[in-house]
Structure 1
Amino acid sequence: MDPLKLPFDTDKMLAGLRPWIECESPTWDAEAVNRMMDLAAYDLAGLGTVERIPGRMGFGGSVRARLPHPDQGRVPGILIVGHLDTVHPVGTLDVLPFKIEGDICYGPGIQDMKGGNYASVEALRHLIRAGMQTPLPVTVLFTPDEEVGTPSTRDLIEAEARRSKYVLVPEPAHPDGGCTIGRYAIARFNLRSIGKPSHAGARLADGTSAINAMARKIIEIEEMTGPDCTFSVGVIHAGQWVNCVSSFCDAEALSMAKKQEDLDDGITRMLSLNGEVNGAKFEVTRGVTRPVWRPDQPGTMAMYETAREIAAELGFDLSCSSAGGGSDGNFTGALGIATIDGLGVRGAGLHTLNEHIHIDSLPERARLIAGMLMRLA
């Protein structure tokens, strides 16, 4: 059978995807993420040998599945890598339930990236049912911490990638349905200002506000943004009582650049902010970093041409470009391993309460991935 003509049933795909969406799995809730990993492990169990990998650093665990193949473990194969954690806290379903409205389906994490992951599993399921053997062995790896920079599973992803010839990442497709063949570098920073407490009503002048110091630094940091490197602060924690001058303020900043040298310069500028501001101490420490994945790698571009040919046979044009916003493709691409990212579903609103997918992209992406699995050799 032609893999591009596999009988994907959209209604059955939505029914299978629904439990994944309704199993909320915010990164910092390890138990919730592990419940999601249980669902994925069950769906993968019919495809091959499934292994649960314990979590560490306070995060949930991972799921790895190896499909039966005569060359499994003997030759570099194909790795499908995706994350099952989301940015949405438990309870988001109350305001963003799984629902279908016309050709759109809503739900937390449905675009980023449970929809694409599920389409990948369905592609494998249909290939097996049709008795089709992929030219190369296939491994699936689902991880728990991508939304916070992959601090606990980067080593695991890179180890699997080094055993692979190709890496497929079913992160969300571009708005035009295109895929990703490179990603910008990203660095995270932990910020802390340390002031002096006092009673905000009776002894205001005796204190030094850590919030005031942080506010001044946030403006300075974000004004460092230029065409080559961006800076933003997205998280702030401080204060317990409005009548107390804050003694601590913590924040997190993100920097992104298209070139590694520009990010390195941005890191230097951020670390130079250590010191004092308005009488308070200010500290900057490095967080996790994603390296630049350059968009000009021969192996990746050769794989893209294969994907584009398959898409054309399916009736659509698959564009490609480098993209901002990190993914685990940064790691595999930076290793020089042929990687195509953005193979997941089409949609919009990721990381918001309007997150949704175009329903027709579920079978579309499943067929695209099935075609790639059968042609990559």
Structure 2
Amino acid sequence: MLSKFWEDKETDMLDLLEKLVNIDSGTFNKAGVDQVGNVLASAYQALGFQVVVDQQTERGDHLIIVHPESQNPNILIIGHMDTVFPVGTAQNRPFSRDESFAYGPGIYDMKASLVMMLFAVKSLIEQGDESFKQIKIILNSDEEHGSIYSRKLIEREASDVKYALIVEPSDMTGQLITGRRGGGKFELHVTGRAAHSGEEPEKGRSAIGELAHKIIQLHALTDPNAGVHVNVGVVSGGTTSNTIAAHAKASIDVRMETLEQAMELERKIKQICSTTTIEGTTLVLQGGITRPPMIKNANSEHLLNIVQEEALQLGELLLDKKTGSGSDGNLTSAVRVATIDALGPRGGNAHTADEFLVIESMVPRTRLLANLIKRLGRE
């Protein structure tokens, strides 16, 4: 019966995926993210689930999805509805597919995973297996920008569960993720004093000049051997080439291996940005560590063994790895919940125009998620 179910449902899964991919839902596009949320909320409500909307003003709304008969669910499943693509991308580059791959903005990261989650629940309902009452689902709207607006929600909902299943996509190897570096995002705003660079440059105080000093100091914090990286990735400032810049801004990304490194890195960044080199300029630093490191521990090792056993039952040998990027798994792991990440389908080229999904990986990963819910729901 199960195999027949999946044979019949792959087309339905791709139909829903096409609908979601063709909705622009970049992190800052609240209307688009909420449109994706409305589609998924209606689908879960049709299955008898309750959907609580965690309303946001600056981002899309987050969704918390639980069955009304659920009592103290022990499994948290997390996915995100936002992508990195601007408005208009879906119209210019809508869903498409060939025999093996499907394409479109956010198809791999992670709209295919959103479809997978829904159909895993559908399969349990059709089988009459009530383990779906042991799950709660969070669909958040800002993972691509550090889950800053959803962090408290995730940490709160994770505090009373035993397992966290993160359905970020897997790469072409299919490997699971049990470790991630931590990360943070800062913005440095510099104020100087404008002046004509030809007539009276002595009256000016260059915000760009001050920022240049800070960039050198910040980049000097990078220690590749320790897994610490600081990158000033975006800079802006000034008005014209013959005007000494009164304003400048830098966006800073940081990565680290341990919580101790995160605390020390934040302290050093604040120290660097507390004093100026060019007299008459001022500095304002915003932001902080957004994701603590995801560190493999005994609880996650136990969960990994379960996932690997269930995968073997489906004929797949799954390995695990550590990666440098972050996800919502960083947050659940930091509150000591057993966490496995990259449970989503295979694909690649995330965040690019060449992003793709391996179609044949959709059903196996959906079956694995359903079987995991059954297994963990009994524990």
TM-score (norm 2): 0.90
* Aligned length, in residue pairs: 373
Partner secondary structure for residue 113 of structure 1:
helix
Partner of 2:166: 169
Shift of 1:94: 4.5
| CA distance, structure 2, for counterparts of residue 367 and residue 170 of structure 1 | 13
Partner secondary structure for residue 244 of structure 2:
coil
AA partner of residue 363 (structure 2) = P
Partner of 1:194: 191
Partner of 1:295: 296
Q: Deviations over 1:292-348 (max 9, x none)?
A: 22202x222222111112222222221112322111111111111111111112111
2:348 matches 1:348: yes
Identity among equivalent pairs (%): 31
For structure 2, the residue ranges without an aligned partner over 5 or more in a row are none
Partner of 2:262: 263
Shift of 1:355: 1.6
2:215 matches 1:215: no
Segment of structure 1 superposing worse, 148-157 or 49-58: 49-58
2:146 matches 1:149: yes
Partner secondary structure for residue 9 of structure 1:
helix
Shift of 1:204: 4.5
Match of 1:160 among 157, 176, 186: 157
AA partner of residue 18 (structure 2) = R
Change in Cα spacing, 1:92 to 1:211, as seen in structure 2 (3 Å) is: farther
2:118 matches 1:110: no
AA partner of residue 311 (structure 1) = A
| CA distance, structure 2, for counterparts of residue 139 and residue 68 of structure 1 | 11
| CA distance, structure 1, for counterparts of residue 39 and residue 152 of structure 2 | 24
Partner secondary structure for residue 363 of structure 1:
helix
1:1-377 superposed matches below 5 A: 6-7=6-7, 9-56=9-56, 58-67=58-67, 69=69, 72-73=70-71, 75-134=72-131, 137-200=134-197, 202-226=199-223, 227-228=225-226, 229-274=228-273, 275-279=275-279, 280-296=281-297, 298-376=298-376, 377=379
* 8 A contact 1:96–1:354 mirrored in 2: no
RMSD: 2.3
Shift of 1:9: 3.4
Shift of 1:169: 0.8
Partner secondary structure for residue 141 of structure 1:
strand
Partner secondary structure for residue 342 of structure 2:
coil
| CA distance, structure 2, for counterparts of residue 43 and residue 10 of structure 1 | 16
Partner secondary structure for residue 15 of structure 1:
helix
AA partner of residue 247 (structure 2) = F
* 8 A contact 2:33–2:81 mirrored in 1: yes
* 8 A contact 2:78–2:165 mirrored in 1: yes
Shift of 1:262: 1.7
Change in Cα spacing, 1:352 to 1:200, as seen in structure 2 (3 Å) is: farther
TM-score (norm 1): 0.91
Shift of 1:101: 3.3
| CA distance, structure 2, for counterparts of residue 92 and residue 201 of structure 1 | 44
AA partner of residue 155 (structure 2) = E
| CA distance, structure 1, for counterparts of residue 347 and residue 284 of structure 2 | 39
Write 1 or 2 for the structure with the bigger share of helix.
2
* 8 A contact 1:95–1:353 mirrored in 2: no
* 8 A contact 1:3–1:367 mirrored in 2: no
| CA distance, structure 2, for counterparts of residue 348 and residue 110 of structure 1 | 10
Shift of 1:220: 3.3
AA partner of residue 166 (structure 1) = Y
Partner secondary structure for residue 105 of structure 1:
strand
| CA distance, structure 2, for counterparts of residue 4 and residue 166 of structure 1 | 30
* 8 A contact 1:166–1:339 mirrored in 2: yes
* 8 A contact 2:184–2:290 mirrored in 1: yes
For structure 1, the residue ranges without an aligned partner over 5 or more in a row are none
Change in Cα spacing, 1:152 to 1:203, as seen in structure 2 (3 Å) is: same
| CA distance, structure 1, for counterparts of residue 11 and residue 239 of structure 2 | 49
